[in-house]
């Protein structure tokens, strides 16, 4: 009988310890809490330089739906997502601006990647090198790909973590509805 009680106390102790550890993790990592607030609620005023040397001023994007997509050429899910972002840009046209913010180590890495996806350099898609991951840190990006969708008024309407197919009828309808 004593062995059963001892085993019960060990099990209860392990469960209690697990609960305490889980609570500490949730307290230390606010993004793990369901009620965590978004870091970005509106499109911030930014001036970013594309890899082509052009300046993108987000203040001039009012009236457009804007997707800020954080990606990298070494990220498998990011690579899967690129063709659908291109298709989305083609389908929506001038009402959409995609800011493709790369977390690659060098601009050369981005240029090598773009040889496989030349249409990623199309109008409506600005490719930005995030040297030192400053933008990703400002947006509290946790993993790649991660995208923020802003409506035509500059309000964030959705954060998408992970790869999705941006060219499905539902995705196209959702983006069109944000204009």
> For the chain, what are the domain ranges?
2-32, 47-177
DSSP code, position 168: S
Residue 20: pLDDT over 50:
no
pTM of the model: 0.78
Burial 147-170 (b: 16+ CB within 10 A, else e): bbbbbeebebeebbeebbebbeee
CB 129 within 8 A of CB 135: no
- Say how many C-beta atoms besides its own lie within 10 A of residue 105's C-beta: 13
CB 159 within 8 A of CB 72: no
Which pLDDT value is given to residue 25?
42
Which pLDDT value is given to residue 4?
54
Q: Nearest Cα to 104, choosing from 142, 146, 65, 75?
A: 75
What is the Cα–Cα distance from 164 to 179, expressed in whole angstroms? 20
Average pLDDT, the chain: 84
With both helix axes pointing from N to C terminus, report the angle between 169-177 and 76-92 in degrees, rounded to the nearest 10: 60
- Say how many C-beta atoms besides its own lie within 10 A of residue 174's C-beta: 15
Q: Give the pLDDT band (50/70/90) at residue 40.
A: confident
Average pLDDT over residues 49-67: 95
Overall fold of domain 47-177: Glutaredoxin (3.40.30)
Average pLDDT over residues 40-57: 93
SS3 call for 70: strand
């Amino acid at each position: 009988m004593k062995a059963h009680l001892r085993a019960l106390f060990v099990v209860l102790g392990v469960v209690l310890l697990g609960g305490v550890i889980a609570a500490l993790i949730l307290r230390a990592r606010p993004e793990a809490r369901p009620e965590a607030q978004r870091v970005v609620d509106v499109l911030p005023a930014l001036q970013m330089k594309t890899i082509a040397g052009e300046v993108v001023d987000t203040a001039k994007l009012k009236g457009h739906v804007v997707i800020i997509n954080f990606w990298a050429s070494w990220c498998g899910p990011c690579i899967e997502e690129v063709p659908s972002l291109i298709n989305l840009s083609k389908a929506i046209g001038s009402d959409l601006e995609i800011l493709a913010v790369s977390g690659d180590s060098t601009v050369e890495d981005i240029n090598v990647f773009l040889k496989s996806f030349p249409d990623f350099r199309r109008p409506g898609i600005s490719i930005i090198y995030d040297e030192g991951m400053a933008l990703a840190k400002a947006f509290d990006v946790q993993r790649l790909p991660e995208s923020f969708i802003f409506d035509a008024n500059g309000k964030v309407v959705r954060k998408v973590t992970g790869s999705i197919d941006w060219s499905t009828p539902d995705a196209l309808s959702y983006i069109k509805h944000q204009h």
